[in-house]
Every structure is written in structure tokens, then in C-alpha cells.
Amino acid sequence: MGSQHTDIYINPQAHSWHHDANTDRRIRHFHQRLPGFTPTPLIRVDSIAKELGLKYVFVKDESHRANLPAFKILGASWATYRAVTRAVGLSTDVSFEVLADAASEKVIKIFAATDGNHGRAVARMARILRIQADVFVPSNLEQATRDLIAGEGARVIVADGDYDYAVQQARINSEVPNGILIQDTAFEGYTEIAQWIVDGYSTMMIETEEQVREATGGTADFVIAPAGVGSFAQAVVSYWKSRPYPCSVMAVEPDSAACLKNSLTKGEPITIATENTIMAGLNCGTVSSIAWPILQKGVDISVSVSDREAHEGVAQFKALGIHAGPCGTASYAALKHIAEQHSKDVQSLNPDSTVVLFCTEGERGYEMLDRKKEGLL
């Protein structure tokens, strides 16, 4: 059972927990077929390591992944490809062109809900396969983000509610002949495609492990992942807790949408009401049902950060030449928060630590919603 302070949750049992996972090597080969695909850089930031008293700090920079400004294409592309090949009865080594022709003949239609990058990634893959996509978005999603999704050729439908409501609407509307829901959260009756999305993120994990070894001759001791519905965090835990060496995992959320931290504290998955945040891609009120069992056992530390902390991280990363959005700097905000306020509570974070920050989002426009409240005035 975990212990918690007011702002963090610590699970001492997670350090020794091991996850049996077999990575499907077909996935990385598949990703190499995507237009513009190359491994993303792992950037060594010695100034942060020195500031926080750590051996190495690396940023896995996902600000550009296959010509999109976020990592989501890794999961969305693999899941869409798997789902469409199954729907048309083709194998998982078929070319995009052949699959597109088969999908057109069967009039496949894709549905998804998003608070940003997932929907754009699904729309991009649908465009590659020449499939119509309907993407449902919460009512508070910025117009600029809606326009980016529409720019991929998708039809953007504004749901009259929050992210969870948009997911419900996408699910309901997908229940048509040859309709396929590509969603990065699992719920009752919907797990397989959500798991394929998680599986798609394994490419990033393999790249990161190889890059850390090349840079240091060793392995990561501590990795930090943003958590919205928890699918990416699930991928991080699944991979790093399956390695033959110990590695601590910290999950970070907005303090206005900390559904994972609240669920861990409660000891069971709960749905919470969320508020607006500049970390729009993490503004989720319910943990994915397939992520929960793994996160409950494998997350060493769960922490939430404020918009102010994420916003400051954007400026600090920019000074280092890393052009990230606030979801991307949440990992750094969490590391700084823990190192400065809870170093005695987190023994696995020490002067010998090699830390990886997963920066999951490129630079984008946003507005601080209440600058006075966030301490910026």
C-alpha cells in the first residue's frame, strides 16, 4: 500500500515490482514505413542535472515525430493499421496503398475523441489510408487545435461537454456498419484497440533505452511520464518495469486533472471533475481501465503540477533549445518539484541517478487561464 503527502503519492512496493512484457518487434518496423519517420533525439541537459544534483538528465524530445508535433502518431498509427487490416481481412504486413484500396472498397470510417494530439494523429493515419475520420472534441478545446485536426482532412465535431463526454459520443457514433473507434483509453467492452495504441508507444521506449546506453554506457534509473488517461504511462511502466535492472517510474498530471493520483490515493479507479488547464492533452478525469492495474502496481511516484510550473518549464526548455508545449514540460516540472521538495522521500533520486524526462509535445500556443491565480502577475 502506498503512502502520500498532500501533493505526491509514493508506492514503495513498486520499486521491486516486475512486469512480464514481450515487445512486438514488428511495431518498430511498421513505424519506419510512416512518411517522415526517424528516431527522435535524446537530449542531455547537464545544466538541469547540475541544478538538481543528479548524474544525468535526458529529455526524450517528441516535439517532432513523423511530421507531427507529438508522440501520439506512434500509438494511433499502429492501432489504426491493425484495426483496418482486420476489418478488411488483410495481414499486418500489407502496404498502405493496398490497405487504402481495400478500406475504400469496404467504406471503412474512423471515429475518435481527443483533447488534442491523439485526434490529429488518428486523422493523419486516416488520411494516409484515404479513410474518412470523425473526431469528437470537448467543448473547451481551443479553436486552433480544432483547426489542426481539420487540416488533416477529418471532420471535427464539438461535443457539448468534457473529454469523457466526447469519448462517449465518439463511441456511440462509431456503432455503424464498418465504423471503427480508435481511442486511446479503454473502458468496458473496449480494450483491444486501446491496447494496440499502448503497444505502439513501445518504439519510443526501445529508442530511449538504446540512446541512454549509447550516451552513458548504462541504463536509466528514473523515468518520468505525463499521464492523461494513463495509456502512455502504461506503456512506460510496462516497458521499464520489464527490464532486467531496476528503474523507478514517476507519473505527472495537472493538479486540476489528477485522476491517477486521486485513484492511487483512494486505492481504486475513480472519476473526477476536471478544470481547464494549459496541459490540455492531460485534461482527463478517468484512468483507462487497462492502464489502471499496471499503474497501481508499477508507478513509484505520482505527482501533480500547476499550470504555472508547466509554463515556467516551457520557457526553461526553450532556453535550452527544446521547443516544447506545457504537456511536454510537465515531466521537468515534476522532477524539479520532487528534487526540491521531496528529495528525502524519494531515495531512488540521488546524485548517481540517470533520469529520462519524456517530453511528449512540441511547442504550441496557449493562454494562461488565470494569471493572477497562477502567480504570474
pLDDT for 1 beyond 50: no
Same domain, 116 and 17: no
Q: Residue 157: beta bridge partners?
A: 136
pLDDT in tens, 229-264: 999 999 999 999 999 999 999 999 999 999 999 999
- For residue range 4-31, list pLDDT tens digits in order: 556 799 999 999 999 998 889 899 999 9
Helix pair 73-88, 231-240: axis angle to 10 deg:
100
DSSP β-bridge partners for residue 158? 137
Same domain for 221 and 107, yes or no, is: no
- Do 281 and 174 share a structural domain? no
List 60, 61, 109, 115, catalytic entry: 115
Residue 372 has pLDDT above 90, yes or no: no
Q: Do 205 and 321 fall within a single domain?
A: yes
72 is catalytic: yes
Query: Measured between alpha carbons, how far is 301 from 317 in angstroms, rounded to an integer?
Result: 23
Q: Are residues 251 and 324 in the same domain?
A: yes
pLDDT tens sequence across 105-159 = 999 999 999 998 999 999 999 999 999 999 999 999 999 999 999 999 999 999 9
User: Could you tell me if 61 and 358 are in contact, meaning their C-beta atoms sit under 8 angstroms apart?
Assistant: no
The CA distance from 119 to 110, in Å, is 11
Cα dihedral value 16, 17, 22, 23, nearest 10: -80
Structurally, the chain folds into a number of domains equal to 2
CATH number of the domain enclosing 251: 3.40.50.1100
For residues 206 and 122, state if they share a domain. Answer: no
Domain range for 214 is 3-70+201-359
Considering the chain, what is the average pLDDT of its residues?
94
Considering the domain boundaries, does residue 374 fall inside one?
no
Instruction: Give the pTM.
Output: 0.94
- Which of the following is catalytic: 60, 61, 72, 164? 72
59 and 81 housed in the same domain: no
pLDDT value for 369: 65
Same domain, 208 and 344: yes
Same domain, 213 and 345: yes
Q: State the pLDDT at residue 341.
A: 86
Instruction: Respond yes or no: is residue 164 known to be catalytic.
Output: no
Q: Which residues contact 362 (CB under 8 A, 6 or more apart)?
A: 62, 63, 64, 69, 70, 323, 324, 325, 328
250 with 350, same domain: the answer is yes
